[in-house]
Amino acid sequence: MLDDDDAPIHPLFAGAPSTTEFKKLRKRIVRETRDAIEKYGMIERGARWLVCLSGGKDSYTLLAILHELKWRGLLPVDLLACNLDQGQPGFPSTVLPKFLEDMGVPHRIEYQDTYSVVVDKIPQGRTYCSLCSRLRRGNLYRIAREEGCSAVVLGHHRDDILETFFMNLFHGGRLATMPPKLVNEEGDLFVYRPLSFVAEVDCERFATQMNYPIIPCDLCGSQDGLQRQQVKQILDQWEKNSPGRRQVMFRALMNARPSHLCDPSIFDFTGLSLTGAPDTQDFSQNIPNLRQSD
């Protein structure tokens, strides 16, 4: 069905480039998104998802691909797009409402001035990301409950997951990252990341070629020296030196071997025992003397 170029398309894809390159890009992102949704069991028939839209390239890609899947009968859930306007100075508050209305996408725009809270609580020179994300997450959970949604759906992609893994490794002293699927601390909402298999460069190419109205993050993304940016530069250099390394590293996150790590809480090292019976036969007489001269 996805290969039928004459099939009707969702308005989010109106005006899409007709080039072979773009068609391959779209189909690849759709395929990888479907793979993640199926592999991690994200579909609950009849569920309602709160699709979080920041206005960045990743969230536009997420919104379009999910509607593509739903449009073609491959995603049996209701989708509600949501933008949380956090009161950042200069934020173009009319861009997303107009875009969503023009596209015929059900949506909710919520205004909560978390910006003032962040700049008040975080000392000058420190990064805002941690507190900003906690406040944003709390509001999104509240909105999901108010709208009867069972899942909050985020636009994090493969590279976000890799960067988080290395941030935890380098700075947090733990092996952890953003999982494609989790349950919130209260236990009443799923958090899904359907773009977990999608490369950041593909999101950027897709959103750019679709000419979506990208809104940059001037709150967190404009701060220099962020740990995430440092990790990103390392990964960029590795990828430059060895193309395809990002994908290899991501596959490693799906191929963990607890018995070959060092955490006794996930593998019972003390309970290890030998399975073969000891052989008491003396083989010492059969060992050749390698130092014996001919």
Q: Is residue 4, in this structure, part of any structural domain at all? A: no
The Cα 249–Cα 240 span in angstroms is: 14
**Number of structural domains found in the chain:** 1
Transcribe 2-64 into DSSP letters. Answer: TT-TTS---GGGTT----HHHHHHHHHHHHHHHHHHHHTT---TT-EEEEE--SSHHHHHHHH
Pairing of strands 48-52, 151-153: parallel
Q: Is residue 185, in this structure, part of any structural domain at all? A: yes
Question: What per-residue confidence (pLDDT) applies to 225?
Answer: 46
Which has the minimum average pLDDT: 14-23, 77-86, 144-153, 222-231?
A: 222-231
Q: Is residue 12, in this structure, part of any structural domain at all? A: no
Sign of CA dihedral 242, 234, 222, 193: positive
Please answer whether residues 200 and 158 qualify as being in contact, where contact means their C-beta atoms are separated by less than 8 angstroms.
yes
* Domain limits for position 210: 18-255
The Cα 147–Cα 25 span in angstroms is: 33
For 277, which DSSP code? P
pLDDT above 50 (res 221): no
Q: Is residue 183, in this structure, part of any structural domain at all? A: yes
Measured in residues, the chain has a length of 294
> What b/e sequence results for 201-224 when a residue is b if at least 16 CB atoms lie within 10 Å of its CB, and e otherwise?
ebbbbbbeebebeebebebbeeee
pLDDT above 70 (res 4): no
- The per-residue pLDDT for range 123-157, each reduced to its tens digit, is 776 777 778 888 899 999 999 999 999 999 999 99
- The per-residue pLDDT for range 49-83, each reduced to its tens digit, is 999 999 999 999 999 999 999 998 999 999 999 99
Higher pLDDT pick, 273 / 294: 273
Transcribe 63-118 into DSSP letters. Answer: HHHHHHHHHTTS--SEEEEEEEE---TT--TTHHHHHHHHHT--EEEEE--HHHHH
Contacts of 147 (CB under 8 A, 6+ apart): 48, 50, 80, 82, 108
The Cα 59–Cα 140 span in angstroms is: 14
Mean pLDDT of 27-38: 97
Mean pLDDT of 93-106: 94
Q: Is residue 24, in this structure, part of any structural domain at all? A: yes
Q: Is residue 104, in this structure, part of any structural domain at all? A: yes
Higher pLDDT pick, 142 / 292: 142
Question: What per-residue confidence (pLDDT) applies to 292?
Answer: 62
pTM: 0.87
pLDDT above 50 (res 232): yes
Residue 190, both tokens: 């799923």
Mean pLDDT of 201-209: 97
Higher pLDDT pick, 292 / 106: 106
pLDDT above 80 (res 290): no
Mean pLDDT of 38-51: 94
- Average pLDDT of the residues of the chain: 88
Mean pLDDT of 2-18: 72
Mean pLDDT of 163-189: 95
Cα 150 to its chain centre, rounded Å, is 18
Q: Is residue 287, in this structure, part of any structural domain at all? A: no
Q: Is residue 107, in this structure, part of any structural domain at all? A: yes
pLDDT above 50 (res 217): yes
CATH of the domain at 95: 3.40.50.620
Band (169; pLDDT cuts 50, 70, 90)? very high
